[in-house]
């Protein structure tokens, strides 16, 4: 579902991603771990074309992210075509990024109504169902400022689900939360994983990665240092850099 082939990314002459090759199969949960500055977030942002890659190939659901093949050349997508491709990819950010002037229900139904132009009543009903799925029944009319951080992040997860994506990207979804709110959000993410959603999750929650991931990827300095099952990477890492990182965070 996600295929990165020798992806590289640089800002000026700073190399941020170097030769990243990674495949995530349909229904797979892949957790990206690594120290701050490793390039995890940048990679996630490349997957939905918030950042352009400078080398290699990046495919989601068989399509080149941000580009269309015409004959032998690639053309960058824009406007509606890019929007259509992005609608396959849900994104959940560290800082929730909800629309502050909209209620929880409006936040969730906004993209389906405005971008996908689906019938309003149907989208609202679906938004209510999704809010109930993330444990927020009864909070549909609340504005983000009236919700806790954990509740806001659960609205953001419902919003990502509302576009019926093929993939959801989570960028440190619990890093901005007070510690007592982390568990409720991880439980919701685990619930989404159990539905068979393909997920790429940048996280510092090692126990979560151990329990929920099918595969763990450890990145450092813009490269994949090692990847494998949670047991392989987290319990028996091959590389010294992985061992040092785990020792620091555990
Ligand atoms: P991580 O998510 O692993 O903490 P990031 O992907 O955020 O790492 O950052 C990787 C590196 O890229 C860092 O050194 C960061 O300073 C650099 N970087 C990220 N975004 C930009 C940017 N827009 N311009 C220049 N450098 C950037």
94-122, pLDDT tens digit by residue? Answer: 999 999 999 999 999 999 998 888 999 99
pLDDT at 69 over 90: no
Asked if residue 84 has pLDDT above 90, the reply is no
Closest residue by Cα to atom 27, ligand 1, is 11
pLDDT at 53 over 90: yes
226-235 tens-digit pLDDT:
999 999 999 9
Please give the number of the atom of ligand 1 that sits closest to the Cα of 43: 6
Task: Evaluate: CB of 41 within 6 angstroms of ligand 1.
Answer: yes
Choose the residue to mutate in 39, 54, 173 for probing ligand 1, maximizing ligand atoms within 8 Å of C-beta.
Answer: 39
Q: Verify whether ligand 1 is closer than 6 Å to residue 11 (CB atom).
A: yes
Instruction: Give 173 Cα–ligand 1 centroid separation in angstroms.
Output: 17
Residue whose CB lies within 8 A of the most ligand 1 atoms, among 13, 14, 15, 16, for a mutation test: 16
- CB of 42 closer than 6 A to ligand 1? yes
CA-closest residue to ligand 1 atom 21: 11
CA–centroid distance, 94 to ligand 1, in Å, is 15
What percent of the chain clears pLDDT 90, i.e. is strictly above it? 88
pLDDT digits (tens, 9 = 90+) for 122-139: 999 999 999 999 999 999
Going by their DSSP bridges, the two strands 2-11 and 14-24 should be labelled as antiparallel
Question: φ, ψ for residue 90 (rounded to 5)?
Answer: -85, 150
Q: How far is the CA of 38 from the centre of ligand 1 (A)?
A: 8
pLDDT class for 82, splitting at 50, 70, 90?
confident
Say if residue 21's pLDDT is above 90: yes
Average pLDDT over residues 177-189: 95
Using the atom order of ligand 1, give the atom closest to the CA of residue 171: 2
């Amino acid at each position: 579902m996600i295929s990165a082939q020798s992806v590289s990314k640089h800002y000026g002459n700073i190399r941020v991603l170097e030769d990243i090759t990674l495949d995530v199969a349909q229904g797979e949960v892949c957790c990206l771990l690594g120290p701050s500055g490793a390039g995890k977030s940048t990679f996630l942002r490349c997957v939905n074309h918030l950042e352009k890659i400078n080398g290699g190939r990046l495919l989601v659901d068989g399509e080149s992210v941000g580009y269309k093949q015409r004959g032998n050349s690639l053309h960058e997508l824009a406007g509606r075509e890019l929007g259509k491709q992005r609608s396959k990819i849900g994104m959940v950010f560290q800082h929730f990024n909800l629309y502050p002037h909209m209620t929880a229900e409006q936040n969730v139904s906004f993209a389906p109504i405005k971008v996908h132009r689906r019938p309003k009543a149907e989208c609202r009903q679906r938004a209510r169902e999704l809010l109930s799925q993330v444990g927020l029944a009864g909070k549909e009319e609340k504005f983000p400022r009236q919700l806790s951080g954990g509740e806001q992040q659960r609205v953001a997860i419902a919003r990502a689900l509302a576009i019926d994506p093929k993939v959801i990207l989570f960028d440190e979804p619990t890093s901005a939360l007070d510690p007592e709110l982390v568990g409720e959000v991880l439980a919701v993410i685990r619930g989404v994983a159990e539905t068979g959603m393909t997920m790429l999750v940048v996280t510092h929650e090692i126990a979560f990665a151990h329990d929920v991931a099918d595969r763990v990827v450890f990145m450092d300095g813009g490269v994949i240092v090692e990847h494998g099952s949670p047991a392989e990477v987290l319990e028996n890492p091959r590389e010294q850099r992985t061992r040092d990182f785990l020792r620091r965070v555990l």
